[in-house]
Every structure is written in structure tokens, then in C-alpha cells.
Amino acid sequence: MSASPSYGSRPWTFYALALLFTLFVIFLYGPMIAVLVLSFQGPSASLVFPLRDPGFMWFDELFSPRRTGDVAGAFNRSLPLAILVMLLTVLISVTAGFAFRRRFRGSTAIFYMAIASLIVPGLVLSIGILVTFRYLGLSATWYGSALGAHLSWALPFGLLIMFAVLGRLNPSYEEAAHDLGASRWQTVKDVVVPIVFPGMIAVALFGFTLSYDEFPRSWLTVGTKNTLPLEIWTMTTNVTSPALYALGTVTTVVSFAVIALALSSIIIIQRRRSRGR
């Protein structure tokens, strides 16, 4: 009948919890909005309210290396790194997800290794990777050791999402495709991938943002050149102008753009599906 049971008028707990929820959302977004507002100030700006002569000067300041550090350079490393992590996470966790649908020797060990990799404190891993690279005679770089450090966190997340997605993929779809004469590759291309595609976007979103915002795992592994979160960290200790907030606004806008892109593509796919193309 109806999707959810009706209880007549709403109980008082609804209003109490709705209030709690509203307060939580304010708690969640309030400070971010404060930073957003404070980043649009003029030269007489300060780090607290009220807002002084609105303007864009701190955004200009941000990308001119006079006062602040190498923000532009950090962007130029963080974005490619995040995209690389995203692509590898999707590729590796999707294929691994398929492997886990069958029972194979060592599956339990690999599964627990992935979970452990999720739990281990980032700093511990950061030290470990740095030491490993030293012994291997390699120097730490953002495209080498940092990439690996990010993957060690993004992959388990991707794997868990793929478990959830593939758990709902009935094996009889593939069997039906085989019965109808589809080759292995055709089955993957025309049946499996279209079904799990929204899940793959979710994995991509996780891969991108986990890398783009990752701090502890990057700290010792990026080498001499900072990624964006490290750059922000440095700025928190030596920059006392709203340029810091401007940087916060810029990175948040990038994050929101990525989230919006991911969510809207999922929604478009689902809608197209329910309309029956």
C-alpha cells in the first residue's frame, strides 16, 4: 500500500528530533558560511565579524605569491593527484569488487588487510611509507609516495561501496546475458557496467575527495612540494589575513562543484532509467 506507515498526527518526538536535526545542520554549515562571508573583504579586513568593505582582493592576493605561499602550485599538484587517485580507485576497486564475488584463496586475508588499512592512523602510515621509500632509495613525491598513501585509504572505501553495490547485483543478470549469447566482455560492457554505474560514481567521488582533502597521510609523503591541505596548514600558522578564508572558499567551491557533478550525474542516470529511455 503506502510506502510508510502513517501514525495520524505527528508525535512530540518528531518535533524534538526535528529541532535537534536543524541545530545539527546549523552546527555543520554555520562556520563554513561564516568563512565564506569573511573571505569577501577589502584591505581593512580582519579575521572576525563584522564584514569590512566587501571585495575580492583576498582572492587576488591568494594567487600572487607575494605574501602567501605557493597556492597556485599546490592547486596544480592537488587537482591532478586527486583525479589520478579517483581514476585508480574506480578502476582497482571495481575490478577487485568483482573478484570478491567468487571465493578464492586469500580473499579473507585481503579483505581484512583492506579493513586494517582503513583503521590504521594516517600518521603511522605516513611514517611507514616515508621509511619504506628511504630504504628503497626513492625520494618522496606527490605522484609517488603520496599517491600510494592516498590509495591505501581510498581503495578500502571504494571496495566497501562496491560490496554494497555488487551485493545487489543478481548473478542471474549475467547468466541471462550469457544465455542470450553475450560474450564475457559484452556482458560486462552492456549489462554489468550500466547497472553498477551509479555506484562507480560514488566510488569516484570518494576517491577524489579523500585525496583532495587528505592531510595526515600526505604530511610526510608529498616530499618537498606541498599539496593544498598542507599549504593551508602552513598558512594557518603564518598567515593572519582573510587570504586564508579566501583559500577556504576556493577549495570549498571546488569540493562542492565535484559533489554537485557526481550527485547530478547519478540523479540524471536514475531518472533516465525510471523513464525507461
Partner 1 sequence: MANSPPKSGAAQGSGEIRLVNVTKQFGNSYAVKDINLTIPHGSYCCLLGPSGCGKTTILRMIAGHETPTSGEIYIGNDMVVGKPPVERGTAMMFQSYALFPHLTIQDNVAFYLKMRGVGKEERRRRALEMLQRVQLDHLKDRMPAQLSGGQQQRVALARSLITNPKVLLLDEPLSALDEFLRLRMRGELKSLQNELGITFVHVTHTQPEAIALADMVVVMDTGRIDQADTANVIFDRPATPYVARFMGGQNVLTGTVTGGGGPGTIRLKAADGSHFETMANGEKPKSELSVAVRRDRIALRRRNGDIASNAVNALWGVVSATEYQGSYVKVTLDVGGQVFVANVSDRDYFAEPVERGDPVVASWKTEDVHILGKVDTGAAGDPYLDAGH
Partner 2 sequence: MTPTPSTSKASLTTYLQVAPLTLVLILFFAIPVALVVVVSFFRYQMLVGIVPDFTLKNYIDLFSNPTTWTLYLSTLKFTLIVLVITFVLGFWIAYFLVFHVRNLITAIGLFLVCTVPFWTSNIIRMISWRPVLGTEGLINSALLKLGVIDQPLQWLLYSDFSVVVAYVHLFTLFMIVPIFNSMARIDKSLLEAAVDAGATRWGVVWNVVLPLCKTGIALGALFVVTLVMGDFFVVTVMSGGLSGSATSGIFNDLQFLNYPRAAANAVILLIVVLLIASAIFRLVDVRKELVR
In the window 83-142, what residues touch partner 2 (CB under 8 A)?
Answer: 91-93, 95-96, 98-105, 107, 110-111, 113-114, 116-117, 119-125, 127-129, 131-132, 135
Residue 1 interacts with, from partner 1, partner 2, none (CB under 5-8 Å by kind)? partner 1
* Rounded to 5°, angle at Cα 143 from 137 and 144: 30
| Residues with Cβ within 8 Å of residue 188, at least 6 apart in sequence | none
Residue 70 as a binder of partner 2 (CB under 8 A): the answer is: no
Instruction: Give the span between the Cα atoms of 197 and 23, in whole angstroms.
Output: 35
| Residue with the three cell numbers 618537498 | 224
| Residue with the three cell numbers 505527528 | 10
Residue 63 interacts with, from partner 2, partner 1, none (CB under 5-8 Å by kind)? none
Interface map 146-185 toward partner 2 (x if CB under 8 A): --xx-xx--x---xx--x--xx---x--------------
Question: Minimum Å distance from CB 12 to partner 1?
Answer: 15
Instruction: Give the span between the Cα atoms of 26 and 39, in whole angstroms.
Output: 19
Please check whether residue 117 is in contact with residue 152, taking contact to mean a CB–CB distance below 8 angstroms: yes
Please check whether residue 145 is in contact with residue 223, taking contact to mean a CB–CB distance below 8 angstroms: yes
Interface map 196-215 toward partner 2 (x if CB under 8 A): ---------x---x--xx-x
Residue 42 interacts with, from partner 1, partner 2, none (CB under 5-8 Å by kind)? none
The three three-digit cell numbers of residue 39, written as one number: 573571505
- Choice between 7 and 135, CB closer to partner 1: 7
The three three-digit cell numbers of residue 241, written as one number: 589575513
Instruction: Give the span between the Cα atoms of 148 and 122, in whole angstroms.
Output: 12
Please check whether residue 161 is in contact with residue 199, taking contact to mean a CB–CB distance below 8 angstroms: yes
Residues that bind partner 1 (CB under 8 A): 1-2, 5-8
Question: Minimum Å distance from CB 60 to partner 2?
Answer: 19
Question: Minimum Å distance from CB 96 to partner 2?
Answer: 4
Residue selected from 32, 72, 138, 268 as contacting partner 2 according to rule CB under 8 A: 32
Instruction: Give the span between the Cα atoms of 153 and 155, in whole angstroms.
Output: 6
Question: Minimum Å distance from CB 11 to partner 1?
Answer: 12
